[in-house]
Amino acid sequence: MNPLTDPNKTAVFLANVTFEPGCRNNWHIHHATKGGGQLLICTAGEGWYQEEGKEAVSLVPGTVITIPAEVKHWHGAKKDSWFSHIAVEVPGENCSNEWCEPITDEEYNKLA
């Protein structure tokens, strides 16, 4: 993760996040009482995004994902590709991140 802005100096935090092949983050939730959430702007390689209870979405350069606050989700690289995105933390009130359980290899390996 390479921060592109300093959260102490600007209202919007951006980071360039790069995943090696097969790397993914845990399920997580961006909490906020107003506003909040996250934007993913895919810049290189191929990856996955999935919201709890929904099918995974294939990510390629140019894909933009809008993630509202309170939506449990995960994202990361496909098995055979590096993947990068710009993560934008949407400003809001009482924002926090909750990190949850990992994506199991069994769940991940079902994605084609």
CA pair distance 83, 90, nearest whole angstrom: 22
Place of tokens 């995943």: 19
Res 107 pLDDT > 90: yes
Residue 112 pLDDT level (bands cut at 50, 70, 90): confident
pTM of the model: 0.93
At 9, the amino acid letter reads: K
- Edge-first strand listing for the sheet containing 57-59: 57-59, 47-51, 73-77, 28-31, 96-99
Ordered by where they begin, the domains of the chain are 2-104 (2.60.120.10)
